Amino acid sequence: MDDQLLARENTSRYIRLACTWSAVPMVVLLFGGLIYSGFMVPILPSATAEQVAAQYRTDTSQIRLGLAVSFVAVIFLLAFGGGIADQTRRIRSAPAVLTYIQIASVGAGSLIFVIPWVCWETAAFRPEREATQIMLLNDLGWIAFVFSYVAFTAWLVAIGVAILVDVAPTPAYPRWLGYFNIVVAVIFVPDNVIPFFKTGPFGWNGIFPYWIPFVSYGIWILLMLRYTVAAINAEVDGQPRNPAKAAATSVPVR
């Protein structure tokens, strides 16, 4: 093989792997920042204005720093989404429109992080505001964060369909992962009911709109990281694309 061509292929591989492995700093920054800020467990939607304001006034510096750290995760979300879109684009039987949907969904989904983080940071910026003003910003942030699921649902459905239409003898991804993407996409749908509940399992802090989607999304990230890295390694190494074998043996490129 021509040296220049080999160098280009290696560079492409490194970039694709780097984008896919960006899921690791994304998870660390997102979860670490939310835990430190005290926002991993949502402020109760049933809390009074004074209770909400008290949390922002008591933990002001912690909220500011934790949210600022977790906000950086958006950069890696864009890279991770791009890495997945690039790999599913290589599925010859998948129509290009599925790649376009992924790109549009990742771009729109990144705004889900921008809007609530700006609202929460604004509330923490001037904790001396009236309690009702802090409550308004807090409500807007949590509703935007939990309620705005549509971009992520569209993203996962597009990935799932791309995997399922792969008719290659050795598909890039295991078929069950396509179904899993669609299941997780549907799991987000209960987020739609949070404007109607301030308590119980359907509030923005409830098990159906928040905890089940959050845990499912975390599992999805790990699985997509593992099998996308496996697909890249199997494809570039010139081996038959066996995702199960490649996923079990794949390691970061050094």
**Assigned domain for 236 exists:** yes
| Vertex 239 angle, CA 253 and 230, to 5° | 45
**Assigned domain for 114 exists:** yes
pLDDT above 90 as % of the chain: 84
Q: Which residue has the higher pLDDT, 9 or 144?
A: 144
**Assigned domain for 253 exists:** no
pLDDT above 70 as % of the chain: 90
**Assigned domain for 166 exists:** yes
pLDDT tens profile 22-49: 999 999 999 999 999 999 999 999 999 9
**Assigned domain for 92 exists:** yes
**Assigned domain for 251 exists:** no
230-249 average pLDDT score: 61
Sign, CA torsion 127/128/133/135:
positive
The pLDDT, as a whole number, for residue 3 is 65
Tell me if 15 sits within 8 A of 242, measured CB to CB: no
> What mean pLDDT value characterizes the chain?
90
**Assigned domain for 250 exists:** no
pLDDT tens profile 141-167: 999 999 989 999 999 999 999 999 999
Supply the range of the domain harboring residue 225. 3-243
Q: How many domains does the chain have?
A: 1
